Amino acid sequence: MKNYIKALFIILISISIAGCQETATVDIDEAAQLITQQSLLSHIEILSSDEFEGRAPASRGEELTINYLVNELEQIGIAPGMPDGSYIQEFPLLGQQVDGSTASFTIYKNGNQVQNLSFGSDFMAWPANEAEQVSISNADLIYVGYGIQAPEFDWDDYKDVDVSGKVLVYKNSDPSHDPDIFEGDARLYYGRWSYKFEKAEEMGALGAIIIHTTPTAGYGWSVVESSWGRERFALKSGDSGNGTKPEFNAWFTEDNSATLFEAAGLDLHEMLEAAADRDFRPVQLDGVTLNVSLTASYSDMSSRNVIGKLEGRDRDLQDQYLIFSAHHDHLGIAPEPVNGDSIFNGAWDNASGTASVLEVAKALKEVEDQLRRSVLFMFVGAEEMGLLGSLYWSQNPTVHPGKVTANINLDSMQIFGETNDIVLVGYNRNTLTDVFRTHAAAAGRVVAPDPQPQQGFFYRSDHFSYARIGIPAIYPNYGNDYIGKPENWVAVTDSVRTANYHALSDEINEYWDMAGMEADVRLILKAAFDVINRDEMMEWVPGDEFEAIRQQSLGEL
């Protein structure tokens, strides 16, 4: 009997211990330890392998990528994030290829030909309304300076001038002469080429031309020629030839822009200088007209976003969301091999960000009982084509933007070792900066602003798609204060990044040191956990360009 009681006691104790182990709470620090150099690298090795063929949209590589992401989410235990119970949000794409051999722009002065421009070397242009043919004669031109309307800065380049039906000529970038407006040297969205083209549509323009100079663009003409000379892609709108958009968009070289202004008796550089004045008014290029002929062919295709969901446990906050995003696509297969290699593997850009979001999802799953808000993990497609997957979600959101506390976007992570700092693209633009600053300090690190604000990186990755519909967004980026590396390591890594950016050589190589990525992703995880569980939602700082749309979005609720 005594042996029986002793055995029963041991069994009961064992059951009790097992029960305690099952209900033991994992804290966020323990969950962070699950994110390791090897766990991150294992995803990158698969996604950037030759088997995945560069992960181009609408390709076999994308199919493999989608399957991999869905399988990983299922294995982690992340639920489908689409309202229909699936992981997939499909979106239509339209490919456009301009026939450069027949494209022509001809400048006239009082009916006499001044110059016939060559596609590629003199100008780049494309139909803006999905038309197969653009044929324009005797179009009038108006120079509109920066072409900006920014009431918060008391700035209006159009004044009361009716520019509808005209070809608008734009200076690139935004005013940088005054630190009190347009954030001084930093480039806001007002300075992006996409803003100019969007504004031309809003103003009812016939067409839009951006004057290229290397200082205002931040890159040489060769980048314009190579970027816009290949097949370009957009979300399919169905607006083909219906007159709701300008007939064409274009870039002109600096020399040919000078010729255009000279024909009107104006000096290009004087006009570029004049645009910096708040009192600038549009300038008609008197007597100058433009003939335009463009032919384009089109292809229909589609790409996909993958969305997973982890539900919050607070009844009052679980219908609010934090969005993690990373683009899963890259450039696919090159038309011609280089040294026997034709696959754009995209290990850094952006297998690294995709791996990071998967690992964050795994860690948050471990602490799901402690999450007050819900989390959406978005792996978006066609980023390399112009942020198209995230743009599509912003136009067709699966949850109301006013219910999203923030977006944390991961793109091209730190792969060259640990740093004392972590850079935030979007530094001090919203309250996410304060959260990151707190957790960086706890880790003995510092948060640094974007070292190149004039390049406008805030508008060049997927977080911008969320920001433009009001969602406070941040883009954690790699730091430069390396730990335990040679003194010239920043110069070395900058050189390697430049050589590998959108190149066939973007592969795992001897320079990679995953310790920095591990540290950054763990820090990002802890900051996100804080954001998920705070009483308050994240906010834009007063006066930010996205504050008004945020207030509108919240008001709709």
Task: Say whether both 291 and 376 belong to one domain.
Answer: no
Element (H, E) at 200: helix 193-202
Per-residue pLDDT tens digits for 40-82: 999 999 999 999 999 999 999 999 999 999 999 999 999 999 9
Q: Are the CB atoms for 478 and 497 separated by under 8 Å? A: no
Q: What is the pLDDT of residue 404?
A: 98
Going by pLDDT thresholds of 50, 70 and 90, the confidence category of residue 226 is: confident
Distances (CA, A) of 375 to 180, 228, 319, 428, 503: 37, 37, 10, 23, 33
Going by pLDDT thresholds of 50, 70 and 90, the confidence category of residue 163 is: very high
Indicate the residue among 297, 330, 347 that finishes a domain: 297
Task: Check pLDDT > 70 for residue 131.
Answer: yes
Rounded (10°) CA dihedral 119, 188, 167, 256: -40
Phi, psi angles (nearest 5°) of residue 419: -130, 155
Task: Say whether both 78 and 112 belong to one domain.
Answer: no
For residue 207, what are the β-bridge partners? 167, 248
Task: Say whether both 180 and 233 belong to one domain.
Answer: yes
For residue 91, is it within any domain? Answer: no
Going by pLDDT thresholds of 50, 70 and 90, the confidence category of residue 23 is: very low
Q: Are the CB atoms for 503 and 423 separated by under 8 Å? A: no
Going by pLDDT thresholds of 50, 70 and 90, the confidence category of residue 19 is: very low
Residue 392's nearest CA partner among 400, 384, 382, 402 is 382
Task: Say whether both 333 and 406 belong to one domain.
Answer: yes
Report the C-alpha gap between 487 and 485 in whole angstroms. 7
Going by pLDDT thresholds of 50, 70 and 90, the confidence category of residue 6 is: low
For residue 68, is it within any domain? Answer: yes
- Determine what percent of the chain falls in helix, strand and coil, rounding each to the nearest 5: 35, 25, 35
Q: Are the CB atoms for 443 and 483 separated by under 8 Å? A: no
Task: Say whether both 35 and 73 belong to one domain.
Answer: yes
| Terminal CA-CA length for the chain | 69
Task: Check pLDDT > 90 for residue 232.
Answer: no
Task: Say whether both 337 and 286 belong to one domain.
Answer: no
Pick from 10-24, 97-111, 320-334: least confident: 10-24
Q: What is the pLDDT of residue 3?
A: 53
Task: Say whether both 116 and 248 belong to one domain.
Answer: yes
Q: What is the pLDDT of residue 471?
A: 98
- Write out the E strands in 436-488: 446-449, 473-477
CATH (domain of 443): 3.40.630.10
CATH (domain of 148): 3.50.30.30
Task: Say whether both 437 and 332 belong to one domain.
Answer: yes
Report the C-alpha gap between 82 and 304 in whole angstroms. 12
Task: Check pLDDT > 70 for residue 5.
Answer: no
Going by pLDDT thresholds of 50, 70 and 90, the confidence category of residue 185 is: confident
Label residues 228-248 b or e (16+ Cβ within 10 Å = b).
beeebbbbbeeeeeeeebbbb
Indicate the residue among 297, 327, 344 that finishes a domain: 297
Residue 435's nearest CA partner among 547, 532, 501 is 532
For residue 432, is it within any domain? Answer: yes
Q: What is the pLDDT of residue 262?
A: 98
Element (H, E) at 80: strand 79-80
Distances (CA, A) of 139 to 107, 108, 288: 10, 10, 8
Peptide bond into 138 cis (omega under 30): no
Indicate the residue among 265, 297, 329 that finishes a domain: 297
Distances (CA, A) of 175 to 126, 157, 183, 221, 241: 27, 11, 9, 21, 34
Task: Say whether both 323 and 374 belong to one domain.
Answer: yes
Q: What percent of the chain has pLDDT over 90?
A: 85
Task: Check pLDDT > 90 for residue 419.
Answer: yes
3-state secondary structure of 202: helix
Residues 524-538 have a mean pLDDT of: 98
Task: Check pLDDT > 80 for residue 18.
Answer: no
| Cβ-proximal residues to 209 (8 Å cutoff; 6+ apart), any chain | 141, 167, 168, 169, 170, 249, 250, 251, 252, 257
Domain count, the chain: 2
For residue 234, is it within any domain? Answer: yes
For residue 6, is it within any domain? Answer: no
Q: What is the pLDDT of residue 240?
A: 45
For residue 14, is it within any domain? Answer: no
| Cβ-proximal residues to 106 (8 Å cutoff; 6+ apart), any chain | 113, 115, 116, 117, 290, 291
Task: Say whether both 114 and 144 belong to one domain.
Answer: yes
Higher pLDDT, 318 or 498: 318
Q: What is the pLDDT of residue 483?
A: 98
For residue 77, is it within any domain? Answer: yes
| Cβ-proximal residues to 202 (8 Å cutoff; 6+ apart), any chain | none
Residue 219's nearest CA partner among 187, 190, 246 is 187
For residue 10, is it within any domain? Answer: no
User: What is the 8-class DSSP label of residue 52?
Assistant: G
Task: Check pLDDT > 90 for residue 455.
Answer: no
Label residues 264-288 b or e (16+ Cβ within 10 Å = b).
bebebeebbebbeeeebebbebeeb
Which region holds residue 205: left if phi is over 0, alpha if psi is between -120 and 50, else beta?
A: beta
Phi, psi angles (nearest 5°) of residue 373: -90, 170
Mean pLDDT, all residues of the chain = 93
Burial class (CB in 10 A: 0-12, 13-18, 19+), 351: buried
Residues 431-438 have a mean pLDDT of: 98
- Tokens at residue 199, please? 């504004």
How many C-beta atoms surround the C-beta of residue 159 within 10 A? 11
State the residue range of the domain holding 349: 26-86+311-555
Strands 446-449 and 421-425: parallel
Residue 301's nearest CA partner among 381, 230, 239 is 381
pTM attached to this predicted model: 0.87
Report the residue count for the chain.
557
Task: Say whether both 161 and 69 belong to one domain.
Answer: no
Report the C-alpha gap between 372 and 413 in whole angstroms. 28
Task: Say whether both 62 and 134 belong to one domain.
Answer: no
Residues 492-518 have a mean pLDDT of: 95
